[in-house]
Amino acid sequence: MVFWFNSDRERGRVFADAFARDLPDLPFVMDISERNPDDIRYILTWTVPPDLHRFRNLEVVFSIGAGVDQFKPQTLPPNVMLVRMVEDGIVRMMQEYVTLAVLALHRKLKAYIDQQAEATWLSLPVRQANQQRIGILGLGTLAAAVIERLKPFGFPLAAWSRSERQVENVDCYHGPDGLTLFLARTDILICLLPLTQETEGLLDASLLATLPAGATLIHVGRGAQLDHDALIAALDAGHLSGAVIDVTEPEPLPPEHGFWRHPKIILTPHIASATQPETAARAVIDNIKRHRDGRDPIGLVDRDRGY
C-alpha cells in the first residue's frame, strides 16, 4: 500500500515529513518510476494521470485543490473515491480575500485609489453596513466560513444554494425560483459556487441584469462561470458599479483583455486562496485514517453533483 504525491516537490517535502511522523507505516513516494503500479492505493494530484488505468488497486484520489472540476467523471473508475481538499489554510485565505473585497467595494476603495492618482481630494457618499445587502452564491464549506467572517460587520446576509438549506441569521434561498428573489435583494454578489454543468456560464447578462442598479460582483468561484463581455457591458452601462475578479477563463488573461484596464474592476491572478502544505498534509492524513476506519473522507465528491 503506497501513497503517491503527484505534485511539486517543495510542497511534497512538507507532506513527506508529516507522513513520516503521523503515518509511518504508509510508504510516501513522489517518484513512482520504480514502483509496482499495483501497490498504489492513494494519489494526491491536481489532474488525473493519463495512465491511471495502470493503478488497478487505487482506492482514493485526493485533489490538491478545493476544486475538482478538472477531474472528469469518466476518467475515474467508479470504485475510486474522489476527495476535494478541505483544509484550514484554504478556508482562512478565502475568508481574508472575500472580506477584503467586500470592504473595498463597500468603502469605494478603487475610486479613492483612482482619485489619488489624479490628486483629487473628494469624499464619496457611502452606505452604512446595515444598508449594504450581501448575497453569496453557494453554501459549501468556504461560503459558510465567509459568512461567519462577515457577520460581525452588520451586513444583511443572504445565500443561495441548489437545494434548501438553513443558516442562522442568514436569509437562505434555493432552486431556480429562489435565485431570482435572491438576486433582486443583493447589492454585493459573491460567487463561491463550484464549476458544474449547471453553473458554467451562470454569471451571464440575464443574471447580472437581475441585480439591483449599482450592485457589485466578487467572483471567486471558477472562471468559466462568468461571461466577461456581459460583465463589461453591465459596468459600462452603469447597471453595475464595480467588480473584484480573481478567477477568469482563460488564465492568465491575454494582455489586450478588457478586464486589465477597466476603471471599475479590481483584478487579481487567482490568488484568493491556495492550498497550504502544512495544514493540507494534516487534512489528507486524517482522511486516510478515516478511510482505513471505514468512514467517508471529509470532502468526498458526489459524482452526480460534481462537488
Looking at the annotation, which residues are catalytic?
222, 270
State the DSSP string of 19-32: HHHH-TTS-EES--
For residues 157 and 169, the answer to whether their CB atoms sit within 8 Å is yes
> Which of 52, 61, 58 is closest to 83 using CA atoms?
61
> Which of 103, 258, 263 is closest to 190 using CA atoms?
103
β-partners of residue 40 are 2
Q: Which residue has the cell 485609489?
A: 113
Q: Which residue has the cell 467588480?
A: 243
Residues in the chain: 307
